Amino acid sequence: MTRTGTATVRVGLPYHLRALAQVDGEVLLDVGRPTTRGLLDALERRHPVLRGTVRDPVTGVRRPFVRFFACQEDLSHAAPDDPLPDAVMRGDEPFLVIGAMAGG
């Protein structure tokens, strides 16, 4: 893994966000800081249309019905500056942005 410099990270987006960003499949991002905040910063730089759709644009707080999964773990409640799993930073596993189960 790369703890300094830049790593290429795989990000899986839900249907609506892929449609907004006009992408198919996973998004590959060059991520500087190996944290959720660093990853989302990179995602919003690449696709400005996603600003505000995953987290509040002012506070940075995750939207209530968005979840973050990786390596079969729920990272939604981790602090935004906690380190991401090594397997994500190596590109072995994707970081998944998920629309929470809602609607009954």
Partner 1 sequence: MPGVRVLVGTRKGAFVLTSDEGRRDWRVEGPHFGGWEMYHLKGSPADPDRIWASQSGGWFGQVVQRSDDGGRTWSPVGNDFAYAAVEGRDGAGTHQDYDGTAKPWSFTRVWHLEPSLTDPDTVYAGVEDAALFKSTDGGASWSELAGLRGHGSGPQWQPGAGGLCAHTVVLHPTDEQRIVTAISAAGVFRTDDGGGTWRPINKGLLSGEIPQQEAEVGHCVHNLAMHPSRPDTLFMQKHWDVMRSDDGGESWHEISGDLPSDFGFPIDVHAHEPDTVYVVPITSDYFHVPPDGKLRVYRSRTGGGEWEPLTNGLPQEHCYVNVLRDAMAVDRLDECGVYVGTTGGQVYTSPDGGDSWAPIVRDLPAVLSVEVQTLR
Residues that bind partner 1 (CB under 8 A): 14-17, 20, 49, 51-54, 57-58, 63, 65-66, 99-100, 102
Q: How far is the CB of 74 from partner 1 (least distance, A)?
A: 16
Q: Based on CB atoms, which residue is closest to partner 1, 66 or 71?
A: 66
Which residues, at least 6 apart from 17, have a Cβ–Cβ distance to it below 8 Å? Answer: 50, 53, 54, 97
- Closest C-alpha to 70, from 53, 92, 51: 92
Distance CA 59, CA 66 (A): 15
Q: Based on CB atoms, which residue is closest to partner 1, 89 or 96?
A: 96
Q: Based on CB atoms, which residue is closest to partner 1, 45 or 51?
A: 51
